[in-house]
Amino acid sequence: MTYRFSRKAVAAAGVTALGLGLAACGDSGSDSGDGGGDGESKGTITLGYIPSWSDGLSTAYLLDDQLSKAGYDVEMQTLTEAGPLYTALSQGDVDMYPSAWPEVTHESYMEKFGDDIEDVGAYYDNAKLTWAVPDYSEIESIEDLPEYADVLDGKIIGIEPGAGLTEASKENVIPDYDLAKDFKLVTSSTTGMTSSLKKATDAEEEIVVTLWRPFWANSKYDMRDLKDPKGALGEGEALHFLGTKGFSDEFPEAAELIEGIKLDDAQYGSLEDKVVNEFGEGKEAEAIDSWIEENPDAFDTELTDKK
């Protein structure tokens, strides 16, 4: 415990000095975070995630529930961009990034920080970056977009400027399909993108957004991936639990629990829908309680009750 405190104190000073953009920090909102049924904590694990990225939000609260039941104290630390999150993970400011895209989307971050990061396991193996349209759209392929530049007002609606999807769109899709002369990639946030998507679909207007799977907006807005004949958005990948270097040595029981989490499409979809749509902001812990109750055997290491 002394080592943990000292390392975090030093790391926190580093975060402040570097201005990494931490948005908030505090104890978990879960009512199960009492250090386990025997009152003896096995240590404190800090989860770092970007709240507007709903895969990380959902799995952070799933880990909060499971690690708390296993006897750990859990702290949540929210950030606003992928770069500061990978920096914090590599420096030990956070112990775990609960939904990382290290194989394709965040490959550049792994090249920079990977030596100080431990891959604890993958929980979902069917992830994919896309450019997408509502199913009512006339547009079928990314290579068709120049024909629709006027109706789209020359805009592709993106997410956060530091997202791997934004990087792939700027550095691969736009140049590969020669779109720069007709289009601008509009970046703001995931919330901003989904707001634009809702406005367009309510009016049944044409819109192209940078999107990904798994993500709840695909089903809510009946989205369809544009064909990508040049393969500019890369291959499919898996979603991983990434720990700071040495995580499994410091928290072996937690690492075993986390490594055993495997979710299929239906399980992941129901988890995210519970957290984001059915319960919503401020009720994430209740959403996880409900999901656990409905999915008591979702994965081999699942804990349904406190130890």
Residue-level pLDDT at 38: 55
Q: Report the SS3 class of residue 223.
A: strand
Residue-level pLDDT at 273: 87
Residue-level pLDDT at 104: 85
Q: Report the SS3 class of residue 211.
A: strand
Q: Return averaged pLDDT per consecutive 10 residues of the chain, 307 residues in all.
A: 28 34 39 49 95 93 98 96 95 97 91 97 93 98 98 97 92 97 95 95 98 87 95 93 98 98 90 92 97 96 84
Report which residue type is found at 176: D
> Measuring CA to CA, which residue among 227, 223, 226 is closest to residue 134?
223
**Which residue ranges make up each domain of the chain?**
44-125+236-294, 128-225
Please state whether the peptide bond connecting residue 51 to the residue before it is cis, i.e. omega within 30 degrees of 0.
no
Cα–Cα distance measured from residue 170 to residue 38, given in angstroms and rounded to the nearest whole number = 52
Phi, psi (degrees; rounded to nearest 5) at 276? -85, -45
Q: Report the SS3 class of residue 296.
A: coil
Q: Could you tell me which residues come within 8 angstroms of residue 240 by beta carbon, excluding any fewer than 6 positions away?
A: 99, 100, 101, 102, 103, 119, 120, 121, 122, 123
Cα–Cα distance measured from residue 183 to residue 202, given in angstroms and rounded to the nearest whole number = 23
CA 59 to chain centre: 8
Residue-level pLDDT at 306: 65
Expressed in percent and rounded to 5, the helix, strand and coil fractions of the chain are: 40, 20, 35
Contact call for residues 91 and 108 (beta carbons, < 8 A): no
Q: Could you tell me which residues come within 8 angstroms of residue 9 by beta carbon, excluding any fewer than 6 positions away?
A: none
Homologous superfamily of the 128-225 domain (CATH): Glycine betaine-binding periplasmic protein; domain 2 (3.40.190.100)
Residue-level pLDDT at 238: 95
Residue-level pLDDT at 307: 58
Q: Report the SS3 class of residue 210.
A: strand
Contact call for residues 178 and 232 (beta carbons, < 8 A): no
Contact call for residues 65 and 96 (beta carbons, < 8 A): no
pTM: 0.73
Q: How many CA atoms lie within 13 A of 72 on its CB side?
A: 24
Residue-level pLDDT at 235: 87
Residue-level pLDDT at 269: 85
Q: For domain 44-125+236-294, which architecture applies?
A: 3-Layer(aba) Sandwich (3.40)
